[in-house]
Amino acid sequence: MTPDVAAATGYDLERVRRDFPILSEEVHGRPVAYLDNAASAQKPLAVLDAMDRIHRTGYSNIHRAVHEFAQRATDAYETARRRMAAFLGADSHEEVVFLRGATEALNLVASCLGRHVLRAGDEVLLTGMEHHSNIVPWQMACEAAGARVVAAPVTERGELDLDAFRGLLGDRTRIVSVVHVSNTMGTVNPVAEIARLARERGAFVCVDGAQAAPHRPIRVDELGCDFYAVSGHKMYGPSGIGVLWGRRRLLEAIPPYQGGGDMIRSVRFSGTTYADPPAKFEAGTPHITGPAGLAAAADYLEDLGFDAVAAHEEALRALAEELLLQIPGVRILGTAPGKAAVVSFLVDGVHPHDLGTILDHEGVAVRAGHHCTQPLMERFGVPATTRASFGLYNTRAEVERLAAGVRTAIGVFRG
Ligand code: PLP
């Protein structure tokens, strides 16, 4: 963001950085430049404090006891559920299920919706850019039902081939499950359009929003999907907590995911009746403090303002791509217009893991690998990429250090 834009949006980067104590750490004698936000983002003090407060002033197991600490912990947990319903544009907090993360949310949908609707010969339609979390659970569900997974292709620029998607959407398609924002390329999928097409065909729609929630306002009421998965740790919240939003009538209709305490109405050896959603899907002791931390992260993002955050991150992405493309032998994977601030790239003659190691020695944290998107890597004929993913606290100087580190690595490997 230029200073003008910063002034116009009120985005105070220095203040933002002060909210994240970890950013003043050094790595190998240099200030850390943390560019691995798509893997997991750092946490502001507000998130750390929200969880700490519960541990210090009102911690106990939730929902079950009548004593004051249990009451305080339960209040914090249920207040966070209401907060996340508002954050996602849900009709009711009863449509918000707290789970371990996006992976568990997607497993729940595949397992429970799968058992409810999938029959032999049915199809589940995905895209070629899915994270393994939105592939493997569907393969498991399809295997159990005798159904099959179909994937719509990705274009050379890294976009969903919408015509091919339309062609694959058929009478056998019972469920469509798509990633909102690609973790490897930053591509933003037209989820509302995908949901409209799927629903016209009578298919259920699930969205993997793990990479969308940190960067853009999510309105499930406008997207037209049936389920939406969110990951806490990627949106500056704690790890081990995430949200599954689901339409109430579907949460009521599908079977529970796991059995145990808290998800029942009554248990007898002759049979068990289940609690209403969301409790029906929250068996056992949950991450008691996580939801409060997640709600604090939602507050933090909305207080900064998604427009300001997006403008800041977009400026960093544009600068990163400009500087990287000035380096001979650098190629960017995923060039869709309007992409999020994720830059996956390849450098001739330098393996991504070697590049990642050299950058780490320069204090620059990036991710090297297949990013849990092996089918996408196969589509582009590469085993791995180096990925820089930008967050709301990153700076232009950090982007410049990334580019300088790439030049250093080239010097080492190409001589
Ligand atoms: N989906 C996408 C697109 C992701 O990037 C990730 C994590 O990298 C996941 C799902 C899994 O999320 P979680 O770590 O919350 O299980």
Q: State the CATH number of the domain containing residue 388.
A: 3.90.1150.10
Q: Please report whether residue 41 resides in a domain.
A: no
**What parts of the chain have a pLDDT lower than 50?**
1-5, 7
What pTM did the predictor assign? 0.97
Question: Do 224 and 174 lie in a common domain?
Answer: yes
Dist CA 316 CA 327 (whole Å): 17
With vertex at residue 309, the alpha carbon angle to CA 305 and CA 313, rounded to the nearest 5 degrees, is 170
Alpha-carbon distance 90 to 111, whole Å?
23
Q: Which domain holds residue 163?
A: 48-302
pLDDT score at 9: 57
The answer to whether residue 372 is domain-embedded is: yes
Q: Answer yes or no: is 9 within a domain.
A: yes
Is residue 139 a part of any domain in this protein? yes
DSSP 110: I
CA gap 43, 289 in Å, rounded: 14
Tell me, yes or no, whether 225 and 334 share the same domain. no
Q: Which of 267, 285, 302 is the last residue of a domain?
A: 302
Q: Are residues 390 and 363 in the same domain?
A: yes
Determine the number of helices (DSSP H) and then strands (DSSP E) in the chain: 16, 17
C-alpha to C-alpha distance for 333 and 311, rounded to whole angstroms = 22
- For residues 59 and 24, state if they share a domain: no
> In this structure, is residue 112 part of a structural domain?
yes
Q: What is the pLDDT of residue 6?
A: 53
Same domain, 262 and 383: no
Give the Å distance between the CA of 268 and the centre of ligand 1. 38
Single residue among 269, 302, 335 that ends a domain in this structure:
302
pLDDT of residue 4: 44
What single-letter amino acid sits at 121?
G
* Residue 242 alpha carbon to ligand 1 centre in Å: 10
Query: Do residues 78 and 206 share a domain?
Result: yes
CA 33 to chain centre: 21
Residue 335 falls inside a structural domain: yes
The three-class DSSP label of residue 307 is helix
Q: How far is the CA of 398 from the centre of ligand 1 (A)?
A: 25
Beta carbon of 210 within 6 Å of any ligand 1 atom: yes
Q: Is the CB of 242 under 6 A from ligand 1?
A: yes
State whether the beta carbon of 211 lies less than 6 angstroms from ligand 1. Answer: yes
Residues 385 and 252 in one domain: no
**Active-site amino acid positions:** 372
Whether 87 is covered by a domain: the verdict is: yes
For residue range 182-209, list pLDDT tens digits in order. Answer: 999 999 999 999 999 999 999 999 999 9
- Domains of the chain: total: 2
Structural Rg of the chain based on CA atoms: 22
For position 185, which CATH number holds? 3.40.640.10
